[in-house]
């Protein structure tokens, strides 16, 4: 069984939670490949997964476009096409080049910010989703709260995202020692792309005057604004680390007191960083935005779930875990147990493998009856 994953960005050009999730899906299914767009087209191997990148001609409102994708999709010998939503050009590419092959759509997020464009895109989106054999929601929370998913509820299945511990390096003593020397330990840690929906401006307001460091690891379009805001606020305990590699990430997770994930808009549909914190047995702080973040992080069990864009609630949650080490450790152990029960890469992969086989079987049965 050959499965082709298709999304607008991928390694090595971009690194994010969605790219990590696609890689996890692909690495567990023999014969999987990834098709994407890039400013540097070509073919590479990422963790032994073949990745084909066609040229990205332009990007409008985060929608990457490159006409070569349609031809590549058409010529692909894949048995199943697995597209990752939202990506309007990907929808169009399937309709033009998919050759009616079985289609799985993982629905990662509603269109939140570009609502005007979303209204124009609506007819194409529905035509595309009508063609899907199955639509996968990443959490029951998102299925319940998304007007689009509820419209297609009869063919929606829920498969949570997952990550594999074996896919992360064990940090060396030198790396841990270097970071401990720079920042100490028991700091609060954010890891992720610095985007508009991450709620980091509220984290900066909450950080001022707290008795511990707050580390922000990652790069993104909001970086310049956030650094300027930190200076304006006098939040001297906030440190911007920029991009960190996986070894540094795991060392930071080892040293931190808690993972802080203040995303305040529905564009944050799940939060792979939360899974990484759970895997490292750390308590979590996240916001209740009606998405998978509150499916991953259980309030009062694995961490704090607070109101979005609430500076005082965020400050209080961090202080609570700072003041009560035993609670932080207890919630961290509960987080690790929940990761093992619900969110391993193997569990996610097995669920998708079962779905692929069922969809192919249904197509075969339908062809035989036809």
C-alpha span between 101 and 286 (Å, rounded): 39
Q: What are phi and psi of 84, to 5 degrees?
A: -115, 120
Give the start-end residues of each E strand in 40-88. Answer: 42-46, 49-55, 58-60, 63-65, 80-85
Report the C-alpha gap between 344 and 365 in whole angstroms: 32
Phi, psi for residue 137 in degrees, rounded to 5: -95, 145
Pairing of strands 103-107, 134-137: parallel
Does 75 have pLDDT greater than 60?
yes
The domain spans of the chain are 3-164+345-369, 165-342
pTM: 0.89
The two domains 3-164+345-369 and 165-342 share their CATH topology (first three levels equal): yes
Count CA atoms within 13 Å of residue 91 on its CB side: 19
Pick the CATH number of 165-342 from 1.20.1070.10, 3.40.50.2300, 3.40.50.700, 3.40.50.2000: 3.40.50.2000
Assign 31 a pLDDT band (cuts: 50, 70, 90).
confident
- pLDDT for position 368: 52
What pLDDT digit, counting tens, does each position of 226-265 carry?
Answer: 999 999 999 999 999 998 999 999 999 999 999 999 999 9
Asked if 76 contacts 102 with a C-beta cutoff of 8 angstroms, the reply is no
Strands 42-46 and 188-191: unpaired
Long-range contacts of 292-296 (CB under 8 A, 24+ apart): 292/138, 292/139, 292/141, 292/142, 292/160, 292/161, 293/261, 293/263, 293/268, 294/141, 295/139, 295/140, 295/141, 295/142, 295/160, 296/139, 296/160, 296/270, 296/271, 296/338, 296/343
For residue 339, what are its two tokens? Answer: 């990761």
pLDDT tier at 35 (50, 70, 90 boundaries)?
A: very high
Closest CA to 78 of 159, 6, 130, 156: 6
- Tell me which residue of 84, 36, 117 sits closest to 270, measured CA to CA: 84
pLDDT digits (tens, 9 = 90+) for 130-185: 999 999 999 999 999 999 999 999 999 999 999 999 889 999 999 999 999 999 99
- Tens-place pLDDT, residues 192-224: 889 899 999 999 999 999 999 999 999 888 999
Read off the pLDDT of each residue in 296-312 and give the average, rounded to a whole number: 98
pLDDT at 363 exceeding the cut of 90: no
Q: Quick one: 3-164+345-369 is in which CATH superfamily?
A: Glycogen Phosphorylase B; (3.40.50.2000)
Contact 306, 313 (CB under 8 A): yes
pLDDT score of 201: 98
> In b/e form, how buried is each residue of 331-346, taking b as 16+ CB within 10 angstroms?
bbebbbebbeeebbbe
* Beta-carbon-side half-sphere exposure of residue 350 (alpha carbons within 13 Å): 7
Retrieve residue 187's tokens. 């700091």
- Whether 274 contacts 289, CB under 8 Å: no
H or E stretch at 269 = none
């Amino acid at each position: 069984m050959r499965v082709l994953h298709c999304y607008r960005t991928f390694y090595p050009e971009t690194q994010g939670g969605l790219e990590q999730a696609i890689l996890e899906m692909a690495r567990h299914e023999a014969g999987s490949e990834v098709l994407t767009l890039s400013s540097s087209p070509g073919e590479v191997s990422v963790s032994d997964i073949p990745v084909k990148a066609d040229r990205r001609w332009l990007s409008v409102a985060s929608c990457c476009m490159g006409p070569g994708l349609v031809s590549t999709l058409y010529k692909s010998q894949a048995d199943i096409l697995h597209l990752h939503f939202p990506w309007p050009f990907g929808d169009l590419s399937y309709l033009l080049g998919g050759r009616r092959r079985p289609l799985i759509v993982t629905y990662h997020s509603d269109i939140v910010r570009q609502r005007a464009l979303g209204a124009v895109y609506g007819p194409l989106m529905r035509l595309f989703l009508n063609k899907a054999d199955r639509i996968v929601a990443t959490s029951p929370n998102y299925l319940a709260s998304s007007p689009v998913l509820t419209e297609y509820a009869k063919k929606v299945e829920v498969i949570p995202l997952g990550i594999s511990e074996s896919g992360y390096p064990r940090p060396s003593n030198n790396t841990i020692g270097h970071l401990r020397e720079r920042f100490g330990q028991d700091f609060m840690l954010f890891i992720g792309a610095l985007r508009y929906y991450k709620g980091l401006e509220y984290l900066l307001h909450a950080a001022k005057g707290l008795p511990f460091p707050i580390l922000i690891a990652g790069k993104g379009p909001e970086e310049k604004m956030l650094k300027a805001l930190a200076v304006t606020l006098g939040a001297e305990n906030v440190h911007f680390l920029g991009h960190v590699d996986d070894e540094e990430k795991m060392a930071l997770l080892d040293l931190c007191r808690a993972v802080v994930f203040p995303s305040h808009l529905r564009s944050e549909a799940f939060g792979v960083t939360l899974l990484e914190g759970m895997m490292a047995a750390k308590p979590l702080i996240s916001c209740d935005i009606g998405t998978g973040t509150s499916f991953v992080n259980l309030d009062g069990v694995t961490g704090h779930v607070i109101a979005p864009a609430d500076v005082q609630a965020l400050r209080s949650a961090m202080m609570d875990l700072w003041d009560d080490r035993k609670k932080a450790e207890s919630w961290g152990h509960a987080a690790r147990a929940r990761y093992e029960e619900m969110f391993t890469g193997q569990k996610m992969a097995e669920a998708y493998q079962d779905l692929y086989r069922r969809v192919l079987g249904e197509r075969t049965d339908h062809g035989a009856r036809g």
